[in-house]
Chain A
Amino acid sequence: MHSPELLKGTLQTILLKVLKDNGRMYGYELTQRVKALSEERILLTEGALYPALHKLEAEGMLKTEVVSMGKRVRKYYSLTPEGRSLVKERVSELIDFIKTMSSVLNVELA
């Protein structure tokens, strides 16, 4: 499992990309999806996930819709047009970063 410290800067990028690929999702679903995609090596903690989601929402990158499920309500997140354009930017930024890191650390990426 990767250390949370390493994940810190990439959390938003992960959330945006996953939401882009999967359309609307709710919090728990997001953690599960990331877990599956990373073969259980990335475990999003709720303490990091929700503040990040709310922040992106406040910035207008995400929109939400609330679905009532009997006693509980479920809040779905999806990308806004602004968020959609941000995804590309963030992903290419991250790829660049990975490349830079590989040359800095002098290792060849598989």
Chain B
Amino acid sequence: MNLLTSEHIDYIIKDLNYRGIFAETIQDELIDHICTAVEAEMATGKKFIDAYHLILKSFGHTGGLRETQKKVIQSENTKSRNMLKNYFTIAMRNLRKHSFYTFINVAGLSVGLAICFIILLFVINETSYDKHFENGDRIYRTKSEIKFGGNHYNMLYAPPILASALVAEYPEVEAAIRFRERGSYLVKRNIDNIKEDNVIWTDKDFFKVFSIPVIAGNAETALAEPNTIAISEKIAEKYFPGENALGQTLILDNKMNVKITAIYKTLPQNTHFHFDILISLEGLDEAKRLVWYSNNFQTYLLLRPGSDAKQLESKFTDLVIKHAMPQLAEVLGGDFTMEKFIAAGNKMEYTLQPLSDIHLKSSLQGEFEPGFDMAYVYLFVAVALFILMIACINFMNLSTARSANRAKEVGIRKVMGSFRSHLMRQFLTESILLTFASILLALGIVYLLLPFFNQLSLRTLSIPFNQPMLYAVMIAAALGVGLLAGIYPSFFLSAFKPVNVLKGNVSLGMKSGFIRSALVVFQFTISISLVIGTLAVNRQLNYIQNKKLGFNKDQVIVIEDAYALGTNRIPFKDEIMRSGKMENATMTGFLPVSGTWRSDNPWWVEGRDPAVQENMVSIQNWRIDYDYIKTMGMNIKEGRDFSRDFPSDSSAVIINEAALKSFRFDGEPIGSKIQSFRDGPDGGPDKDNPISLTVVGIVENFHFESLKQNVSPLMMELSKRAEGPISFRFQSQNTKEVIQLVETKWKELAPGQPFTYYFLDERFGTMYASETRLGKIFGIFSMIAIVIACLGLFALTSFTAEQRMKEIGIRKVLGASISSIVMLLSKELGKLVLIAFVLAAPLAWYGIDWWLKEYTYKTQVGVGLYLIAGIAAFFIAWATMSFQSFKAASNDPVKSLRSE
């Protein structure tokens, strides 16, 4: 029935086209329909042209055809997918067309997002500490505040008896355990010793309080006997690879044989302690003392469900009155009463700290590991958000600045019937698309940077690829940041009046720049503040490193665990001295860096009444040897150093300037005597035999703790026993040679024992490790902030230069020099940077002041620092701008003017 010829079909196609049927979706279908209908008519004997017109008539001629086409298109366009597809296509085209600006935006945004991501991971990690313990909300630990004899302690150390007293007195306490740190241990299975740092003594209820999965052994009976230990899986695998460690024996410090009674799962990273070996406190005599005046044990409590910690805490005052005070009265004797004790401004107070506060809100004496400061968490979050905002501002500024280029598009779209909401959606799609690309890129950046960040922050963060939360956050971030960055430009651009823009009044780009200027000022205020902050932190660190400390921290090597040498300690020291490479050597654990030995006792000037509390001076009591002061490079201000020429020096003492002030000697301090009680056989002070020491010298104050603290009173006497690490002061610049010399001797005299050492200045540096890290992290942050801000400035300048191409050409033709044009172009933005500096200075001052508050000894932050930061920021900004300005200014004017 092929009545239609090819020519007929061509005719129909052409005619329909002519009548305005061209929509892809309907064209073919209509052609086929009409052809079929025409054929049907022709079959009844009609001529082609008559049949065609008859069919056309049934469609309603041109109008009807078009109406059908329109209806079909409309019925399809109700699908939002098509609409989004359209937005998407246009957005892609726009982004590709302006790839330079897209690059600036994506680069800035992805770096900003990456920083935010890392900080987010970090914050999540920091807030997850100790959350894995089942009874976490019922675990508390005690804090002690003790103020006595001129000393003020805020610490975690509590008396050995406190734990048992709490369980006995208060029914709401389900269990209480104590910890006792005794440093690192040498651990041996057969022959070789390995040094283990994470070793602690604890009570048998450890596993009751902390829900740590026990893999082997009975959690309830483990640690119940003396000389038993529980070890982590890690240690079990280290010493007993592929064997069952339970019931086996290890040797600690060459003398303690201990049996393994439990193996527990190694503690996760986000725990405030990481003990690998737990030794039963049953075997420690010190733990059995029933005294209240010695504080050495960290005490943790598990409360019964539903108990009120605050209420329990309020009962502790009674506990102190009932138990501690009578004992104190007995020990101190005389006219001691509780009332006098308090009237003299003294204090003995125990409070509770919930487990959840430990990592972020606590830094007391006796922490197992350094925590992190909540304030820094907030600071990090703030800085990360600021960086992200700087990146978003780049996007806003570039979009609005380039509005001139898109004004025509907006005009035409509006004339064609686009609503404002359509346009806004279009612009938002662009920004969301851009953010999405940035987020993917950011993920890559995070992946690459995380190892470095982990190194810097001492964490083991990783991207949680297996968690659906990650993807939800990513999508939410893309939408959120996309909206944040796109909402202002979309309002701004969609508000154009089509009449104005199509007439050609489109100089909007550079004119309505108030908001843009404000945003640039904001960007640079943040960047400059960060730069000033970084400089201040580094200056303080420098100050600490170079401050006169009262001793010489350089060129001293400290050999740890000298007890492993046994009786070879003295020969070891002497033989190394004989090599002639060392200047001096001393053997003591009392070193002027924190984390070494400390001992605190009350002393008084001979002749004064020890029962009168004002006479007592709480003082660091260090036991050293003849060569200590020389080795450490301390200065004797008055009197003399200990000397082997004076046999009477066994009862001599050297005090520091702070102690001199506290003792308030009546006459000449040199030759005066000070007294104290030594521990008696029962563990309490032996009051019948006070010991007397004669002051022979006064040593210049030296810093033996962090510079955050004042130098406190200190006395040094000769040690009766040779013990503790051995320190050598060496002359040689070649430290390798020094280490080699000591190590060979060590291996000779202590075969099979691990050789560990540190340099005093390194250990000194670790006291400020967190500050150093902060300085580094801040340095990186401020660098990134300023780079992103400058990226934006770079793009803005290049845009301005582009806009003013003709103007520059004309100026050059009229004789303007390159430098004057560069000035002209950078002037405006330069002004903004200047304003930003003025705003940033007080902001930074406030921040630095807050940070330096905790240091007793701090550097002076003068105007100079601000000026350096300001000039640096201005110079960087100016260099960025002048690169573009110079390019524009040195253009051949013929080129820019020719096109007119």
- By a beta-carbon cutoff of 8 Å, the part of chain A in contact with chain B is 26-29, 45-47, 50-52, 54-55, 58, 66, 69-75
**Nearest CB of chain A from residue B855's CB, rounded to whole Å:** 70
Whole-angstrom CA separation of A70 from B7 in the bound complex:
13
B32's partner among A27, A52, A54 (CB-CB below 8 A) is A27
**Nearest CB of chain A from residue B799's CB, rounded to whole Å:** 43
**Nearest CB of chain B from residue A67's CB, rounded to whole Å:** 10
Which chain B residues border A66 with CB–CB below 8 Å? 28
B59 and A50 contacting across the interface, CB-CB below 8 Å: no
A46 and B33 contacting across the interface, CB-CB below 8 Å: yes
- Complex interface residues of chain B between 25 and 54 (CB less than 8 A to chain A): 25-26, 28-33, 35-37
Whole-angstrom CA separation of A72 from B58 in the bound complex:
21
Which chain A residues border B71 with CB–CB below 8 Å? 47, 50-51
B37 and A50 contacting across the interface, CB-CB below 8 Å: no
Which chain A residues border B25 with CB–CB below 8 Å? 54
Whole-angstrom CA separation of A50 from B28 in the bound complex:
12
Question: Besides A28-B32, A58-B76, 14 other CB < 8 A contacts?
Answer: A26-B32, A27-B33, A28-B37, A29-B36, A46-B33, A50-B30, A50-B71, A54-B76, A55-B75, A58-B79, A71-B6, A72-B9, A72-B31, A75-B28
6 nearest A-B pairs in the assembled complex, by CB-CB distance: A51-B71, A55-B75, A28-B36, A47-B68, A51-B75, A71-B9
**Interface flag for B67 (CB, 8 Å):** yes
CB-nearest residue of chain A relative to B75? Answer: A55
A47 and B59 contacting across the interface, CB-CB below 8 Å: yes
Which chain B residues border A71 with CB–CB below 8 Å? 6, 9-10
**Interface flag for B78 (CB, 8 Å):** yes
**Interface flag for B72 (CB, 8 Å):** yes
A73 and B32 contacting across the interface, CB-CB below 8 Å: yes
Whole-angstrom CA separation of A52 from B58 in the bound complex:
18
**Nearest CB of chain B from residue A42's CB, rounded to whole Å:** 15
Most buried by A among B6, B29, B78: B29
A50 and B76 contacting across the interface, CB-CB below 8 Å: no
Whole-angstrom CA separation of A29 from B79 in the bound complex:
27
A28 and B72 contacting across the interface, CB-CB below 8 Å: no
A46's partner among B6, B68, B76, B79 (CB-CB below 8 A) is B68
**Nearest CB of chain B from residue A78's CB, rounded to whole Å:** 15
**Interface flag for B183 (CB, 8 Å):** no
A75 and B32 contacting across the interface, CB-CB below 8 Å: yes
Whole-angstrom CA separation of A52 from B36 in the bound complex:
20
17 contacts between A and B (CB under 8 A): A26-B33, A28-B32, A28-B33, A45-B58, A46-B58, A46-B59, A46-B68, A47-B68, A50-B30, A50-B71, A51-B68, A52-B75, A54-B72, A55-B75, A55-B76, A73-B28, A75-B32
Which chain B residues border A74 with CB–CB below 8 Å? 32
Whole-angstrom CA separation of A26 from B31 in the bound complex:
12
**Nearest CB of chain B from residue A31's CB, rounded to whole Å:** 8
**Interface flag for B899 (CB, 8 Å):** no
Which chain B residues border A75 with CB–CB below 8 Å? 28-29, 32
B58 and A50 contacting across the interface, CB-CB below 8 Å: no
Whole-angstrom CA separation of A73 from B28 in the bound complex:
6
Which chain A residues border B29 with CB–CB below 8 Å? 27, 50, 75
Whole-angstrom CA separation of A13 from B9 in the bound complex:
33
Whole-angstrom CA separation of A74 from B25 in the bound complex:
12
CB-nearest residue of chain A relative to B79? Answer: A58
B72 and A51 contacting across the interface, CB-CB below 8 Å: yes
B28 and A58 contacting across the interface, CB-CB below 8 Å: no
Which chain A residues border B30 with CB–CB below 8 Å? 46, 50
**Interface flag for B690 (CB, 8 Å):** no
Whole-angstrom CA separation of A47 from B74 in the bound complex:
13
Which chain B residues border A70 with CB–CB below 8 Å? 6
B32 and A47 contacting across the interface, CB-CB below 8 Å: no
Whole-angstrom CA separation of A47 from B10 in the bound complex:
23
Which chain B residues border A46 with CB–CB below 8 Å? 30, 33, 58-59, 64, 68
Which chain B residues border A73 with CB–CB below 8 Å? 28, 32
**Interface flag for B671 (CB, 8 Å):** no
CB-nearest residue of chain A relative to B39? Answer: A28
A58 and B37 contacting across the interface, CB-CB below 8 Å: no
**Interface flag for B60 (CB, 8 Å):** yes
Whole-angstrom CA separation of A55 from B75 in the bound complex:
5
* Binary per-residue interface labels of chain B (1-30) against chain A in the complex, 1 for a CB within 8 Å, 0 otherwise: 000001001100000000000000110111
B26 and A50 contacting across the interface, CB-CB below 8 Å: yes
Whole-angstrom CA separation of A54 from B58 in the bound complex:
20
Whole-angstrom CA separation of A74 from B33 in the bound complex:
8
**Nearest CB of chain B from residue A17's CB, rounded to whole Å:** 20
Whole-angstrom CA separation of A58 from B75 in the bound complex:
8
Which chain A residues border B58 with CB–CB below 8 Å? 45-46
CB-nearest residue of chain B relative to A51? Answer: B71
Whole-angstrom CA separation of A52 from B79 in the bound complex:
14
Which chain A residues border B59 with CB–CB below 8 Å? 46-47
Which chain A residues border B64 with CB–CB below 8 Å? 46-47
* Binary per-residue interface labels of chain B (752-790) against chain A in the complex, 1 for a CB within 8 Å, 0 otherwise: 000000000000000000000000000000000000000
**Nearest CB of chain B from residue A28's CB, rounded to whole Å:** 4
Whole-angstrom CA separation of A26 from B420 in the bound complex:
40
